[in-house]
Structure 1
Amino acid sequence: MDKMSADAGHSPQFLQIGDPAPNFQARTTMGVVNLSDFQGRWLILFSHPADFTPVCTSEFVALSKASDRFEALDCALLAVSVDSLYSHLGWIRAIRDGFGVTVSFPIVEDPSLIIGRAYGMISDRSPDAATMRSTYFIDPDGIIRAMICYPATIGRSVEEMLRVLAALQTVDADQVVTPEGWHPGEAVLLPPHQDQASLLADGDDSMWFHRSKPQSQKG
């Protein structure tokens, strides 16, 4: 059964980037987990509308195949839907038998909708209890750093999830920002000036508002 912590009373419409991720304890396909157990590393928490559906199945196959790429970025994956644990287990077996792929991350059961409502995964206007296709990038301090939401009819992109994760890590490590369409290894941008002295120190640089540099290479 889902158990939300006392600090998880966010109303869905108020959960924003920069907020602490609401903590919870719940049963998963890999045992009971506490969200707080993931602190110290990156976590992508993502919801899917329902088990045994075509779009969700395609996502779980793709994410499982890419699990080593997320692991290389020290990022765990954690899925959640309103389906029961036993539905999750049956679906995992069907995916293994049908696609030859073993789902490599835990799937949380949320039949009480507590987690879905705390994170805003369930729309107040939804005709049913199915979660939206929401993705939350949670940093090692337990802070939500990015959110992406798709309708149930459109599958999310694993490549975009990896790109956003790499961008967040690069921003933190190098104190830079990333331009449109950035991918790892490409040039990054310097943050804008925050005061007059640093601005004027740039002299005659006409592109003072758009300063790029090569991405730092890790040894």
Structure 2
Amino acid sequence: MSLRLGDTVPNFKQASSQGEIDFYDWAGDSWVVLFSHPADFTPVCTTELGEVGRLKPEFDRRNVKVLALSVDDVESHKGWIGDIEETQKASVNYPILADSDRKVSDLYDMIHPNANNTLTVRSVFIIDSSKKLRLVFTYPASTGRNFDEILRVIDSLQLTDNYSVATPANWKEGEDCVIVPSLKDPEVLKEKFPKGYTEVKPYLRMTPQPDK
């Protein structure tokens, strides 16, 4: 099944390094970053899982739960966690799904046969609190992910959910935003953006980040 942005993601029950997970129940009303790995005891993945452990307070602050997946079993995961914590000096303080039956990998289309027909690619799914798919990144197995970018995207998505703005190229938390083109009434603009805005073009209007 190919998931598209805005789709409700499918539920699943699967074993993990922290016990069985019913995805919908586990996610609750949080956002989720679900990210897959080609296999246990692989070098790039080891660095990624350590980095996510270090960044977990940043995900927590944004009401985001993190959930890794690898096609190996729970016992393998537990051995690998020991290596990650030893080499990366970071706690794996979140679950790793055990997907040896490829159930979740197939459900979320994580296996790309032309890249490798048995291993998952480095997929990232950002899922909101309504279980809607908001973003998909797909990396080749050789390229480690940029988790600062993943946090930046979450900041943008959560901001634009709550205010009538979009975020421009290379935007970072605290920088100016773009007012959505559908807002045209001057009185509405004055009410929504009390800090004011700069009209670069009629369709390009910049305003300070509304929640700062």
Fold conserved (TM > 0.5)?
yes
135-144 or 91-100, which deviates more:
91-100
Q: CA deviation at 1:184?
A: 0.7
The farther-off stretch of 93-102 and 150-159 is 93-102
1:210 positional shift: 0.6
User: In the alignment, is residue 135 of structure 1 matched against residue 129 of structure 2?
Assistant: no
Q: In the alignment, what sits opposite 1:30?
A: 18
Matches of 1:156 and 1:91, distance apart in 2: 19
User: Which amino acid is 2:107 matched to?
Assistant: A
1:162 equivalenced with 2:151 (yes/no): yes
Report the Cα offset of residue 128 of structure 1: 3.6
| Pairing 1:117–2:106 present | yes
Q: Is residue 39–residue 142 contact of structure 1 (8 Å, CA) maintained in 2?
A: no
Q: Distance in 1 between matches of 2:106 and 2:52?
A: 24
Unpaired segments of 5 or more residues in structure 1? 1-10
- Rounded to whole Å, the distance in 1 between the matches of 2:83 and 2:18 is 17
The answer to whether the aligner puts 1:208 opposite 2:202 as a matched pair is: yes
Q: Distance in 2 between matches of 1:66 and 1:162?
A: 9
Q: How many angstroms apart in 1 are the aligned matches of 2:38 and 2:64? A: 23
Q: 1:86 and 1:216, CA in 2 relative to 1: closer, same or farther beyond 3 A?
A: same
Amino acid at match of 1:19: D
SS in 1 for 2:20: strand
> What is the number of residues matched between the two proteins?
201
Q: CA deviation at 1:124?
A: 3.1
Q: What's the TM-score, normalizing by structure 1?
A: 0.86
Instruction: Say if 2:179 is the partner of 1:190.
Output: yes
Shift, 1:126, TM fit = 4.0
Q: Deviations over 1:16-66 (max 9, x none)?
A: 111111110111111111110213111101101111111001101111111
Query: Whole-Å Cα distance in 2 between the matches of residues 34 and 188 of structure 1?
Result: 37
Q: Are residues 1:90 and 2:79 paired?
A: yes
| Structure 2 residue runs without a partner (length 5+) | 190-198
TM-score normalised to structure 2 length: 0.89
Q: CA deviation at 1:94?
A: 1.5
